[in-house]
Amino acid sequence: MTILITQLIRRSSNVALPQQKRQRGASYFEFAVVVIIFAILSGILLRKMQFYQVESERLTVQQVATSLRAALASRAVSLYLRGNEAEVKALARQNPMEWLERRPSNYAGEFESPKPGVVPDGYWYFDKSTATLSYLLKERELFGGNDAKRLNFKVKFAQNPSNITNNHEGPGIGGVTLEQTED
């Protein structure tokens, strides 16, 4: 019986040796394929993340501009209803961020002709010398990849048709807007 067990052990160990040689692990080729696939997927993921960062910045700027336009309209209507039409012109020199109940967290403040680098990218600021509200872009691809590094907004007055025939100066109700400028 001992001889039988010894022969079985020898046979089983002989069978195990060729299997162990085949199960060494991944070859260099298989490893290279895995690395290439991982690099391609990482590149796709990074491009998608960059797209969402640009889109997020665009939507955030759009949201703040919409809030500012609504605050301007509210303020202008309030002045008209109180009979202070002359004060509407003063809105053009005011900082639009003061009209908001709560300023955005990326508002840097008021500056007098700020030099480049004073206000970080991704922040709003008001230039008192030109009465312009500006946003410094983080991502230049935000609006078509142009070289513009900032977006500028100014309060402008528009003559609506009912005021054209009148001889008084100043905009009528709805004649004041916050527009993006090319400056």
- Quick one: DSSP state of residue 83? T
pLDDT band at 170 (very low <50, low <70, confident <90, very high): very low
AA letter at 159: Q
Which pLDDT score is estimated for 145? 53
pLDDT band at 164 (very low <50, low <70, confident <90, very high): very low
> DSSP characters for 30-50?
HHHHHHHHHHHHHHHHHHHHH
On the 0-12 / 13-18 / 19+ scale of CB atoms within 10 A, 153 is buried
Which pLDDT score is estimated for 8? 57
In order of 110, 133, 134, 151, the CA distances from 114 in angstroms are 9, 12, 11, 15
Which pLDDT score is estimated for 104? 92
Per-residue pLDDT, averaged over 87-108, amounts to 88
SS3 24: coil
